[in-house]
Amino acid sequence: MIALVDYGAGNLTSVRKALAAIGAHVWTPAVPGELGRAHGIIVPGVGHFDATRGLTGDWRAAIKATVADGTPLLGICVGLQWLFDGSAEAPEVAGLRMFKGTCSPFTFPVNARQKVPHVGWNSLSMPRPSKLMAGITPGTQVYFTHSYAAPVIDDTAAICDYGGPFSAAVERGNVAGVQFHPEKSGDAGLHVLSNWLDLSRRSSGGA
């Protein structure tokens, strides 16, 4: 079973439909204690980083404990940003601190063609092999909608360039995140979700 965490900022319906399309069994836990029975945890999100305040101390502790036991964790969009130390969008709100770095706003020269928010399809490059992005070829296009982005770090599994490079996907061990929306990225997005679902099934012994 995949736990789809609802903290009031996620596009749960689209994510749930995408997961159903690849054969995942999903439920939304009502309390943090239910995460113990999850074979994988997804933290989605759209909008402002401040919404992650809804992931209170009990949720943070339960997610960290479950991940420490080997359960895969995937963050989507704001969910990826939450895996970092924090975001300049809401400096007083701490991230989960699974990855080092702070998410920053896009900044461009006055005459630049890029607009904020970054909305639409953009191509990916892969700086290293990763389980999450296996089978995704360089140049594959996925769908983004965001105004802040995570830095490129050693754990970056995919890069997008929008006036400068940022982390489109990160992965270390059983913790991963994607800045793009796999549930809105067609076959490529479903492929990434399938890769992650395979990891969750293997970690649970095939359940």
Residues assigned a catalytic role: 77, 181, 183
Question: Three-state SS for 93?
Answer: coil
Question: What CA–CA distance (Å, rounded) separates 59 from 120?
Answer: 32
Task: Confirm if 102 and 86 have CB atoms less than 8 A apart.
Answer: yes
* Beta strand 148-149 pairing with 102-105: antiparallel
85 by Cβ neighbours in 10 Å (0-12 / 13-18 / 19+) ranks as middle
91 by Cβ neighbours in 10 Å (0-12 / 13-18 / 19+) ranks as exposed
Question: What CA–CA distance (Å, rounded) separates 40 from 55?
Answer: 17
Q: Find where tokens 């892969």 sit.
A: 126
The first and second tokens of residue 178, run together, are 């994607």
